[in-house]
Amino acid sequence: MPANLPPQYYELEREFAKEKDPRERLRLAEELLRVMPKHKGTDHLQADMKTKIAKLKKLVEAPKKGGATRQATLQDHVEREGAGQVILIGPPNTGKSSLVDAFTNAHPAIGDYPYTTREPQAGMMTFETVQIQLIDTPPISSEQYENYLGNLIRNADLVLLVCDLTDPKMIENVDVVLRILDEKHIVLKPQVDKEPEDPRYKYQKTLICGHKCEDAADGSFVSLQSRFPGFGIVTTSLLDDVSLDQLKRAIFECLAIMRVFTKQIGKEVDPNDPVVLPVGGTVEDAANVIHKDFGQKLKFAKVWGRGKFDGQRVKSDYVLTDGDIVEFHI
């Protein structure tokens, strides 16, 4: 039986053949298996690709001799924590590390010279009652690009592209970042409504931060708006707490998540322990976060929130909104 492989498969296969980085080879191999038609004509190809995937996983996860963990593994994967993972990227000396330092307890290296950050560093940012993970990364320029960045960017929930509003070459330097990412098959988008037709590419939802606005160059914000039509853009300054709070809120909203608070029958709600759901989540989704079988046992729920009757009785498919309080009845 003929394999009848789609054109995308052959494009991926060429990329896989010339790629040297094990992590990227693993990603491409998994994508090859995904786009491969599943029928008897591809049984041998499927088995061969699964073998390659197993070997690549073993390679990238293997420790060095002496028990030390592979440096590449440490750098190109950051365990997700909190309600979402946000990666900060940008040209040299834009202030990424200063923002992470201001928002978290991470304390990355900060300097008034380029390339201070040498490896990724994660910290937790608090927005009201939600913890969001921020990842500081080395700068991207024509002189420097760390190969592990591709995996970090692909795996994040949101990209925060930080631009220096005081830099006369701001747009030129940002264009270098976009060009390098495109070479790595990563495209920054204001919204990701569908997957790219070319399976080699990854679309990543992105928020733009125009930093150092207190000393912004003339026309820099307008230039940023012109360069990124349709993108959310927030201007920030370390000297302006209001601007930093606005960035926090923008990050939360771009993650498209919401907070739902639960209460036991006859008791008060705990305002410090929300259930975090994607926007559009239902009562059943909230119940399943508490316990995987809870949603199946649920008879009904009572909901309190803006624009609702207090204690409104609803079914399991009821769509919740940010800040709702839910009381489950089983």
What distance in Å separates the CA atoms of residue 166 and residue 290, rounded to the nearest whole number?
47
2-29 pLDDT tens trace: 778 888 888 888 888 888 888 788 888 8
Residue 27: Cβ-neighbour burial (10 angstroms; 0-12, 13-18, 19+): buried
Residue 76 near residue 148 (C-beta atoms within 8 A): yes
200-252 pLDDT tens trace: 889 999 999 999 999 998 899 999 999 999 999 999 999 999 999 999 999 99
Residue 124 near residue 104 (C-beta atoms within 8 A): yes
- Confidence at residue 109, expressed as pLDDT on a 0 to 100 scale: 62
| Structure tokens belonging to residue 52 | 């390659």
Model confidence at 64, pLDDT cuts 50, 70, 90, reads: low
Residue 25 — left, alpha, or beta (φ > 0 → left; ψ -120 to 50 → alpha)?
alpha
- The one-letter code for the residue type at 230 is G
Percentage of the chain with pLDDT > 90? 58
Residue 211's φ and ψ, nearest 5 degrees, are -95, 165
What distance in Å separates the CA atoms of residue 295 and residue 287, rounded to the nearest whole number?
5
What distance in Å separates the CA atoms of residue 151 and residue 148, rounded to the nearest whole number?
6
Q: What is the mean pLDDT of residues 242-263?
A: 96
The residue whose two tokens read 């000393």 is 215
Residue 79: Cβ-neighbour burial (10 angstroms; 0-12, 13-18, 19+): exposed
pLDDT at 69 over 50: no
- The one-letter code for the residue type at 15 is E
**Measuring CA to CA, which residue among 262, 269, 163, 176 is closest to residue 222?**
163
User: Domains, the chain, ranges and CATH?
Assistant: 7-61 (no CATH), 73-254 (3.40.50.300), 257-329 (3.10.20.30)
Residue 222 near residue 192 (C-beta atoms within 8 A): no
| Structure tokens belonging to residue 62 | 């293997």
| pTM (two decimals) | 0.80
**Measuring CA to CA, which residue among 233, 245, 250 is closest to residue 170?**
233
What distance in Å separates the CA atoms of residue 177 and residue 283, rounded to the nearest whole number?
42
pLDDT at 124 over 90: yes
Radius of gyration, alpha carbons of the chain = 23
Q: What is the mean pLDDT of residues 287-312?
A: 86
149-171 pLDDT tens trace: 998 999 999 999 999 999 999 99
Beta strands in the chain (DSSP E): 85-89, 121-127, 130-136, 158-164, 186-189, 202-211, 233-236, 257-263, 275-278, 300-304, 312-314, 325-329
- Confidence at residue 113, expressed as pLDDT on a 0 to 100 scale: 55
